[in-house]
Chains A and B, each alone.
Chain A
């Protein structure tokens, strides 16, 4: 019986050193699919390779041979003895395979639950399978269902909501203060990956002018050029505090780069417009006393981490809702899968009846030479109607959903009773 089988490894079963050895580029994926297609054990195949997983999704009626084919191919193609990666491989069949695919696509199996890239990666893998013609009825239906389920999980639960990175958490916070970033000026003091990422997020969200201050003016100029902003001298910071709205600070300075007194003096001149400090540095750059001033808000890296942790907990809670949606979808897919057998059986049954009817009509009409054409047609109509009525009840029963647990039993009995498998 043709069924769905998934085999692979992911970030939970294999360390990155192993995963990178078994990674497949798009071209390599095409080659792999070609090899799988030639194997008699594998009817349909798809391969997905991301930094966190390498998985082969197949439709096969011979699981063990299919699995061996894949293992041997991996070993030969990647020059890695099977024993090196065999322990990290997991293999799922039937409903478990379907559930796994749904979960992965909905980002429930990702390192960071709710991450948005995995769906695109699966879509790409599917495209390759389509172009290589290695996906058929089963995988096509499965993948289309997968995309639908992933979309449902994303939209009906909050797993993708709220920031789970420091930089994005800072930006989300900014949005709670400012509403929109349009026209808001940003000052970057120092440099660093998280700080620069935050600036990029802000730019993408239509922030206004970007100013960069660095102890080494040359570095500031380079960064400013990257953000299409303006570089200022470190000493000029106090002067510019009056004009900027968001300050991101990430320097190696052991002392405060911006003190309470500096800010207190300019609040009035800013006409009390809100001021948001994002302090990513350790030791801290921004005097925490500034948070006590009117309309000024200071968040240091611990505060931001706290937000990220809160959000991660929320995502994990939402993931439970996602699992429920996946479970529903697995059951629904199983129904479809079983119905696959019903239609061909009914068709075969009807065909057999009609063949018998045709044969008998021919025989009988030969002995009734006096009948007209109209009479021939009437007899034909009669037998058709008889067949239809005879098969009506059995067809309904086989198609109905109520007996799905016994469906395969009924199907099997039908096929045996009417000898459909000769």
Chain B
């Protein structure tokens, strides 16, 4: 079982190398290799998670190791979809290392199955987790795209066309991709939160428990809702949207990790070391 995860990590690391080679040498073959390596890694990763699922009989979000593994998996998956749709070749330079790092960290944590009660045997849980994680992965990508946007915008505004200028696509493409990521992320987050409410009602009897994670997720949701609203009405695009995407992701990191480690609540069970 462990060997599987190592193979996955090797694929992701090789993909990272491919994308960095593309960044420095600008030969398209590197970018393509990086992409296919990521695809290979993703397939192995899917298989690994699938095995775990079948083996234990429930969705593998028992401990920090498994949770991080799912996180890496969703980021890779979401990236592959957006890459296929938007052809933003340079984005791999952000996504591949991110996925690799997540998986390397995941491996550092022990994979001891936790004593969980039956609350894990519920389809709404799976939907909740997968939807929320896909949403968060989309926001992670939006953050990456936002960073690239700010880099490129700075190069154009300051008239200093440094290392990145040639390697980054147009501002328009970056902005459009970022917008698509946020839209997807918001839709999935909404869907995932609703699934979470249904699950909570089924397991604990109430929709909302004032659990810190629920509160911070609500804050996150409101923030992205505001972002989308401003974009559609006033036209918050370009620089502002990029900055908001980065701030939003910072909040997501806190919601995802900080809450679990710093505050108490029923979500803490899932990320117990």
User: Which A residues have a C-beta under 8 Å from some C-beta of B?
Assistant: 173, 175-180, 268, 270-274, 291, 294-295, 297, 299, 303, 306-307, 310
Distance in angstroms from A307 CB to nearest chain B CB is 7
Which A residues are CB-close (under 8 A) to B152?
176
Contact B156 A177 (CB under 8 A): yes
Distance of A178 Cα from B238 Cα, bound (Å): 11
Which A residues are CB-close (under 8 A) to B235?
268, 270-273
Q: 13 A-B contacts, Cβ less than 8 Å apart?
A: A176-B165, A176-B171, A177-B156, A177-B171, A178-B170, A179-B176, A271-B234, A272-B234, A272-B238, A273-B235, A273-B237, A274-B171, A307-B161
Distance in angstroms from A376 CB to nearest chain B CB is 64
Contact A177 B157 (CB under 8 A): no
User: Which B residues have a C-beta under 8 Å from some C-beta of A?
Assistant: 152, 156-157, 159, 161, 165, 169-173, 176, 234-240
With A272-B235, A273-B235 in contact, do A177 and B159 touch (Cβ < 8 Å)? no
Distance in angstroms from A363 CB to nearest chain B CB is 68
15 extra A-B contacts, CB within 8 A, seeds A176-B156, A176-B171: A177-B170, A178-B171, A178-B172, A179-B173, A179-B176, A268-B235, A271-B234, A271-B235, A272-B235, A272-B237, A291-B157, A294-B239, A294-B240, A295-B237, A295-B239
Which B residues are CB-close (under 8 A) to A295?
237-239
Say what secondary structure dominates the interface of chain A. mixed
With A173-B156, A180-B172 in contact, do A268 and B234 touch (Cβ < 8 Å)? yes
Distance of A294 Cα from B153 Cα, bound (Å): 10
With A272-B240, A291-B157, A299-B159 in contact, do A179 and B172 touch (Cβ < 8 Å)? yes
Distance of A176 Cα from B171 Cα, bound (Å): 6
Distance of A21 Cα from B237 Cα, bound (Å): 59
Chain A residue with the shortest CB-CB distance to B165: A176
| Most chain A beta carbons < 10 A, residue from B172, B176, B234 | B172
Which B residues are CB-close (under 8 A) to A297?
156-157
Contact A175 B238 (CB under 8 A): no
Chain B residue with the shortest CB-CB distance to A161: B166
With A176-B165, A179-B172 in contact, do A274 and B238 touch (Cβ < 8 Å)? yes
Contact A179 B240 (CB under 8 A): no
Which A residues are CB-close (under 8 A) to B176?
179
Which B residues are CB-close (under 8 A) to A179?
169-173, 176
Distance in angstroms from B267 CB to nearest chain A CB is 37
Distance in angstroms from B159 CB to nearest chain A CB is 5
